[in-house]
Amino acid sequence: MRRRHALAALALLARPARAQPGWPARPVRMIVPFPPGQATDLMARLLADQLTPRLGQPCLVDNRSGGAGLPGMEMIAKAPPDGYTLGMASSGPLSINPAVMARLPYDVERDFAPVALVFTTPLVVVVNPNAGIASLPGLVAKARAAPRAIDYASGGPGSSLHLAAEGFCQRAGIQLNHIPYRGSAPAMADLIAGNVGLMFDSLASALPHVQAGRIRALGVTSPARMLQMPDVPTVAEAAGLPGFEMLGWAGLVAPAGTPAPVVGRLAEEVLALVRGEAMAARIAELGATAAPLGPEEFGTYIRSELVKFTAVARAADVRLD
């Protein structure tokens, strides 16, 4: 009798973790661990607008920025796993932070349930037109002739811009001098002013400056050329580095323990949107590429990116602790 009562009590405690009938029955919150206007935020708002009619409930974006995305990610990890709190998370919090920080307030494998990858976006190698660097082979040749004589800017130590540049240096067998800034915007301002000659930046951020002639694009870090600048070669083809690829990306995650039927429904709706022509076109306008992957594939992708960034960070001795 006592055993039956104990099992019944455990069953009652477990009920909140099950799929709720008629989910969603109230608004769904999507936490973005970045400020408004950042690429992941823009994609989250695009996705939330399209999910609202499909779910039959408002999908509201909640920006929780600061601290390299740590506060926002911790909120997602600690939210009730009931399907009403989601997160739009990117490569930084999910695959770069664990590679460069020994202590995090969340564990990527333990605390999150991948739902769907939404987009990828390459970085682009850009130079000041007066830097005397006309191509990636020219950059490699100059760097080999004078190690660490060429400065490059980044949005900060341990950022995707920093690790992409270090990954390029490691593959090309060269050494550049890192000049970190507090964000990519001041780094770009100094690049345009000629105070620094080189930078890896996101395609979306750099594209207007390239089109205006303020900076010159030498290569994109995607596996194929981008529709937004088809005349710019990939880093792999221009520098002779087969397989070189460094992408930014973001996708939808939920707190670990979110019921499988809820994750499945979310994945179904998100993938249907991202695979649609209208959504893919809008993502391309924002300087990215639609990249629909379901829960299992997205989880595998997160782990593979963590392996890649960890290898680059260790080789370059990049730690943020």
Domain boundaries, the chain: 31-120+247-316, 122-239
Share above pLDDT 90 across residues of the chain, in percent, rounded to a whole number: 83
| Residues 6+ away with beta carbon under 8 Å from 191 | 126, 127, 128, 153, 197, 198, 199, 215
Tens digit of each residue's pLDDT (9 = 90 or more) over 189-199: 999 999 999 99
Nearest to 180 by CA among 152, 156, 150: 156
Q: Find the Cα–Cα–Cα–Cα dihedral 72, 61, 260, 20, rounded to 10°.
A: 110
Q: Return the H-helix or E-strand segment holding 30.
A: strand 28-32
Q: What pLDDT sits at residue 197?
A: 94
Q: From the centroid of its chain, how far is CA 317?
A: 22
CATH number of 122-239: 3.40.190.10
pTM of the full structure:
0.86
Q: Answer with the residue of higher pLDDT: 182 or 252.
A: 252
66: pLDDT strictly greater than 90: no
97: pLDDT strictly greater than 80: yes
Tens digit of each residue's pLDDT (9 = 90 or more) over 46-55: 999 999 999 9
Share above pLDDT 70 across residues of the chain, in percent, rounded to a whole number: 93
2: pLDDT strictly greater than 80: no
Q: What pLDDT sits at residue 67?
A: 87
Alpha carbons within 13 angstroms on the beta-carbon side of residue 238 total 26
User: Rounded mean pLDDT of 62-87?
Assistant: 95
Q: What pLDDT sits at residue 18?
A: 44
Tens digit of each residue's pLDDT (9 = 90 or more) over 168-180: 999 999 999 999 9
Tens digit of each residue's pLDDT (9 = 90 or more) over 105-162: 999 999 999 999 999 999 999 999 999 999 999 999 999 999 999 999 998 899 899 9
Locus of tokens 């209208």: 278
User: Rounded mean pLDDT of 202-219?
Assistant: 93
17: pLDDT strictly greater than 70: no
Instruction: Indicate the SS3 state at residue 303.
Output: helix
Q: What pLDDT sits at residue 21?
A: 62
Tens digit of each residue's pLDDT (9 = 90 or more) over 246-299: 999 999 999 999 999 999 999 999 999 999 999 999 999 888 999 999 999 999
* Topology alike, domains 31-120+247-316 and 122-239: yes
10: pLDDT strictly greater than 60: no
CATH 3.90.1200.10 assigned to 31-120+247-316? no
